[in-house]
């Protein structure tokens, strides 16, 4: 940092040493002042002729003007450098914060990672909520206020200061306003068109979009995309029909287009990549995955989508991780996870991906691991308080 600051300010005659800033010609100014004082007699009587005294005064004024100019350049450079640093930090902090079944708004500054509901041991449906608390000496999970109802196979999004949980073998929606105290979940007046699980949710232009899922009311998978209003009149509107019924798929939004990855209908697994264009209100198949996938977690990194774990239809969870390039339609394999899992939740913050819970080889798991995109490595993190499969998670501003 010192070298960078010195390069910024060297042309202005300013050196930076830690937090200390020195003006090189300040000594010259002080010497000039002393020379003038030394050339005065007792009681301030002048011993210099007027001409020479005037020259010295002009010289001192010139030096002072140089100091003022240098100080102004220093302030300008410091402001510019400060803004550059702020932009860099914000650029890292606000890049792509999404979950497997949700898209959360970008945030800056400290963040919270919240995991919600899911299926626990012995397939119990959970209402409990946990927060990953990052401390200076340790990282732990702490319990938050429980939801009003147990939910599994649900989705979640963040809009403003509200965490919104959608469906989960129910048509109900509930919210947690993390800007208010005490923290309390409240059942929304908005409802889904049917009792749904295994759907996906996206926030598009402030509106909640719900895609596919298993329609428990009909006992069949849905081929519909709905817009659901979270304020009065709390209505839902059918936007578009999908090329085929789908559930348990991954969903991400890139360049205002919504992409669906894999998924299933009953025992049939998909290897499709589908694109929904909200402007044209059209949905079509645009590419293929390397193999069919269901119960897969997804996050967006730059203009690519990373698909994490899942399964191929044999109930065996996967460790594999795929990076899919939306523009080229090509994919590459990333390092495998430490633990195989399906039905997990994944979020991304900057270059760090967290994969939370899911089903491992021995059922619902408490395990959490993170992938550093820059280091290309996986690392285990502290386990959750409860095992959670088919859970949902969000990233939101620290509260």
Check: pTM over 0.85? Answer yes or no. Answer: no
Cα–Cα distance, 72 to 12 (Å, whole number) = 10
- pLDDT confidence of 397, banded at 50, 70, 90? confident
Neighbour order of strands in the sheet with 98-99: 102-103, 98-99, 345-349, 352-356, 368-372, 377-381
- pLDDT confidence of 98, banded at 50, 70, 90? very low
Neighbouring CB atoms inside 10 A of 312's CB total: 17
In tens, the pLDDT along 155-176 reads: 999 999 999 999 999 999 999 9
State mean pLDDT over 322-341.
96
The pLDDT assigned to 4 comes to: 52
Residue 5 backbone class (left: φ over 0; alpha: ψ -120 to 50; beta: rest):
alpha
Among the listed residues 146, 142, 129, the one whose alpha carbon sits nearest the alpha carbon of residue 185: 146
Q: Average per-residue pLDDT in the chain?
A: 83
Among the listed residues 63, 161, 53, the one whose alpha carbon sits nearest the alpha carbon of residue 107: 161
The pLDDT assigned to 50 comes to: 56
- pLDDT confidence of 16, banded at 50, 70, 90? very low
Sorted by where each starts, the structural domains of the chain and their CATH numbers stand as 112-396 (2.120.10.80)
95, pLDDT greater than 80: no
242, pLDDT greater than 80: yes
Neighbouring CB atoms inside 10 A of 181's CB total: 8
127, pLDDT greater than 90: yes
What do you get for the CA distance between the two ends of the chain, in Å?
A: 32
The pLDDT assigned to 111 comes to: 82
- pLDDT confidence of 398, banded at 50, 70, 90? confident
In tens, the pLDDT along 181-205 reads: 999 999 999 999 999 999 999 999 9
The pLDDT assigned to 14 comes to: 46
| φ and ψ of 108, to 5 deg | -125, 155
Which token pair is 252? 């991400």
The pLDDT assigned to 58 comes to: 75
In tens, the pLDDT along 291-318 reads: 999 999 999 998 899 999 999 988 899 9
State mean pLDDT over 325-350.
95
The pLDDT assigned to 104 comes to: 35
**Which carries the bigger pLDDT value, residue 98 or residue 323?**
323
- pLDDT confidence of 7, banded at 50, 70, 90? low
Among the listed residues 201, 147, 133, the one whose alpha carbon sits nearest the alpha carbon of residue 176: 147
375, pLDDT greater than 50: yes
26, pLDDT greater than 60: no
Rg (CA), the chain: 30
Among residues of the chain, what percentage have pLDDT more than 70?
A: 75
Beta strand residue intervals within 205-330, DSSP E: 207-211, 214-215, 220-221, 224-228, 236-241, 250-254, 257-261, 264-265, 268-269, 272-277, 282-288, 297-301, 304-308, 321-325
CA atoms 152, 153, 159, 160: torsion sign? positive
15, pLDDT greater than 70: no
State mean pLDDT over 125-146.
89
Rounded alpha-carbon distances, angstroms, from residue 303 to 60, 256, 348: 60, 12, 14
The pLDDT assigned to 324 comes to: 96
DSSP state of 247: B
In tens, the pLDDT along 243-277 reads: 999 999 999 999 999 999 999 999 899 999 999 99
- In the three-class reduction of DSSP (H, G, I as helix; E, B as strand; rest coil), residue 60 is classed as helix
State mean pLDDT over 36-63.
59
117, pLDDT greater than 50: yes
25, pLDDT greater than 60: no
The answer to whether 260 and 280 have CB atoms below 8 angstroms apart is no
- pLDDT confidence of 84, banded at 50, 70, 90? very low
The pLDDT assigned to 66 comes to: 75
Among the listed residues 23, 35, 108, 36, the one whose alpha carbon sits nearest the alpha carbon of residue 68: 23
DSSP state of 125: E
42, pLDDT greater than 80: no
Angle (nearest 5°) at CA 176 between 174 and 177: 135
The pLDDT assigned to 350 comes to: 87
**Which carries the bigger pLDDT value, residue 48 or residue 365?**
365
């Amino acid at each position: 940092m010192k070298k960078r600051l010195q390069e910024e300010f060297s042309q202005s005659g300013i050196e930076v040493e830690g937090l200390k800033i020195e003006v090189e010609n300040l000594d010259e100014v002080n010497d000039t002042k002393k020379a003038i004082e030394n050339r005065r007699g007792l009681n301030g009587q002048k011993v210099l002729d007027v001409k020479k005294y005037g020259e010295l005064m002009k010289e001192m004024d010139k030096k002072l003007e140089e100091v003022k100019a240098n100080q102004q350049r220093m302030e300008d450079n410091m402001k510019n450098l400060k803004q550059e640093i702020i932009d860099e930090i914000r650029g890292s902090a606000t890049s792509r914060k999404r979950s497997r079944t949700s898209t959360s708004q970008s945030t800056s500054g400290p963040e919270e990672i919240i995991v919600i509901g899911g299926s626990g041991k012995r397939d119990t449906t959970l209402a409990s909520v946990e927060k990953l608390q990052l401390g200076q000496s340790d990282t732990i999970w702490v319990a938050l206020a429980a939801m009003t109802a147990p939910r599994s196979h649900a989705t979640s999004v963040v809009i403003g200061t509200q965490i919104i949980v959608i469906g989960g073998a129910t048509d109900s929606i509930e919210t947690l306003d993390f800007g208010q105290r005490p923290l309390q979940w409240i059942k929304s007046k908005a409802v889904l068109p049917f009792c749904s699980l295994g759907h996906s949710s996206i926030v598009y232009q402030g509106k909640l979009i719900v895609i596919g899922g298993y329609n428990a009311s009909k006992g069949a998978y849905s081929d519909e995309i709905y817009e659901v209003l979270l304020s009065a009149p709390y209505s839902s509107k059918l936007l578009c029909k999908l090329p085929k019924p789908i559930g348990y798929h991954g969903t991400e939004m890139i360049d205002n287009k919504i992409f669906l990855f894999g998924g299933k209908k009953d025992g049939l697994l998909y290897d499709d990549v589908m694109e929904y264009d909200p402007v044209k209100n059209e949905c079509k198949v645009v590419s293929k995955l390397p193999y069919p996938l269901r119960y897969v977690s997804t996050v967006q990194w730059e203009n690519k989508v990373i698909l994490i774990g899942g399964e191929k239809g044999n109930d065996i969870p996967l460790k594999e991780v795929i990076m899919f390039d939306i523009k080229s339609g090509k994919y590459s394999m990333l390092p495998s996870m430490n633990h195989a899992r399906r039905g997990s939740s994944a979020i991304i913050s900057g270059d760090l991906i967290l994969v939370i819970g899911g089903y491992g080889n021995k059922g619902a798991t408490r395990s959490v691991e993170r992938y550093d995109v820059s280091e290309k490595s996986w690392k285990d993190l502290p386990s959750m308080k409860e095992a959670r499969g088919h859970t949902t998670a969000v990233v939101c501003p620290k509260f």
